[in-house]
Amino acid sequence: MMTTKKLIPSIATHPGIILADEMEANGYSQIDFAKLIGLKRSQLNEIIKGKRNINADLALLLEKALGIDADFWMEAQKNYDLDKARIEAKNKEQLEAIEIWNVAKDFIPVSFFKKEQAISGNPLHDIYKIREIYGVANLDQLAVMSVQNNYARFKKSTKLKTDVVNIMGWVKLVQYKAKEIIVPAFNHENQEQLIADLRVILFENKEVLTKVQNKLHESGIKLIYQAKGEKTPVDGVSFWSEGNPAIGMTLRHSRLDNFAFTLFHELGHIFKHLVNNDTAEFIDLEIKTEEEEYKNSTEEKQANHFAQDGLIKDEDWNEFKRNIAFNNNDHTIIAFAKKVKIHPSIVRGRVCFTLNNFRSYTSISNDIN
């Protein structure tokens, strides 16, 4: 049987207000009406002001005096009592929610979540939403979460001490959104075909974001594009979501080379690490803010090599360095990119990174189309 949720009014209407309206409609003054029903004027005034309730005896008197059934007055009194109780309970719940929120908000990127419309600003509703996003039974667990697992490493950096809450919030929002995405079963043996298809999409550079997302979803990999908040120097994250691998990307730079490398880096984590560990989670920051310990970890080096080799095969890259003038010459870069069928902006990005020179002029567009 379908039930209807009871709406709680902001104000409970006492039947005395209805009585005052009926007295006025029938031309009665308080003095005259009090005499008519055998009450003191002060008693009637208390009823009108909501300070005294209507009982069964008074309801029968009102029925005779005004021609309105006693059941109506009893029902009006009952509704008032119930509404008043509901309002008091709601107010108590609101106060408790505010108290909880005042403690928990230090571990939540409140402004970011509001901007992304993940929360409304009403603690009564938001504490339940935060529990869903973070996957916790109560908000006390947020403080513990910030010093455990992957988030603990952000505490080590003086640069990132104020960023732990923001990074954790971004990751949890991505993971929350990933749960809503349904994709086919993932088969890691399809790696080579997936990489080949993605290279074609990047090379053509047409509707890249949509085509890449669709291709990954077809392959059983969830992909979420999620803008970052302030003080959140994150590029991407990879993890398991409801039995499928998933990737979150910030698109921090609207550049094709950055997008391609981050995408393939996260795919490296999936194929090299997540296939053997369904509880792992890899959070990748922009390189200049990443700790040396993490950058030099085996997992990061493997993911970096996966990205580099996936975009430009090692043998092709080594030949390019040996046999061609290795510099930022657009003509050389475009010719090589055409040969290996990868977008020239991706080749140039690799050259600039290798030479640590990102300021030279180029006519090669790096826009994501």
Question: pLDDT digit string (tens) for 250-273?
Answer: 987 789 999 999 999 999 999 999
Give the pLDDT of residue 3.
45
Q: Where among 102, 120, 147 does a domain terminate? A: 102
Report if residue 252 sits inside a domain: yes
Say if residue 217 is in the same domain as residue 311.
yes
Q: Name every residue whose Cβ is closer than 8 Å to that of residue 231 and which is 6 or more positions away in sequence.
A: 162, 163, 166
Residue 11 has a pLDDT of 86
Are 241 and 222 contacting, i.e. CB atoms less than 8 angstroms apart? yes
In the chain, the number of structural domains is 2
Q: Are both 207 and 86 inside the same structural domain?
A: no
Chosen domain end from 71, 102, 133: 102
Task: Output the pLDDT for position 20.
Answer: 95
Name the stretches of the chain with pLDDT < 50.
Answer: 1-4
- 223: β partners: 247
Which helix (H) or strand (E) is 282 found in, with range? strand 281-285
Residue 2 lies in a domain: no
User: Would you state the pLDDT for residue 328?
Assistant: 64
Q: Are residues 191 and 89 in the same domain?
A: no
| Any domain includes 168 | no
Query: What pLDDT does residue 22 have?
Result: 95
Residue 355 three-state SS:
helix
Give the CATH number of the domain where residue 28 resides: 1.10.260.40
Task: Report if residue 232 sits inside a domain.
Answer: yes
Buried b (16+ CB within 10 A) or exposed e, 344-355: bbbbbbbbbeee
212 and 344 part of one domain:
yes
Residue 146 resides in a domain: no
d(CA 350, CA 348): 5
Estimate the crossing angle of helix 15-25 against helix 41-48, to 10 degrees.
Answer: 120
Q: Is residue 33 part of a domain?
A: yes
* Predicted local distance difference test score (pLDDT) of residue 322: 77
Please tell me the predicted confidence (pLDDT) of residue 325: 56
Domain span at residue 30 reads 15-102
